[in-house]
Amino acid sequence: MTLFEYLHYIILPVLVVSAVLILWRFIKGPSIADKIVSLDLLITTGIGVIAVYSVIYNQSTLMDTALILALIAFLSTVALSYYLEKRKRK
């Protein structure tokens, strides 16, 4: 088994299974804070998937997308928690 087969048939399914579990928490989540946390974790898992794909396809340019996704995850979490906190402050 070469490295690419290992990444393609072992590592990527593990990441996809974890993404499905996180998505289940996003759909189920009792409070809105759970949904925000699971969205953040879903984007972080997406960074890992992009890194594995950049190794499989030998394209280092895909790491740019991972950097942008990391920025967007932090920004969305900060903005959503800011407005969530502001909603109660009257």
Partner 1 sequence: MIDIIIGALATFGALFVLFAAIGLVRMPDTYLRISVTTKAATLGVGLVLMSTTVYFSNADVTSQAFVIILFLLLTAPVSAHLIGRASYFIGVKLWDKSVMDELRGKYQKNTHILKSIVDDTPEDNVDHTKMDDK
Contacts with partner 1 by CB under 8 A lie at 2-3, 6-7, 10-11, 14-15, 17-19, 21-22, 24-25, 30-34, 36-38, 40-41, 44-45, 47-48, 51-52, 54-55, 60, 63-64, 66-67, 70-71, 73-74, 77-78, 80-82, 84-85, 87-89
Instruction: Please give the structure tokens belonging to residue 22.
Output: 């996180």
| φ/ψ (deg, to 5) at 24 | -65, -40
Length in residues, the chain: 90
Quick one: DSSP state of residue 59? -
Q: Minimal distance in Å, beta carbon 73 to partner 1?
A: 8
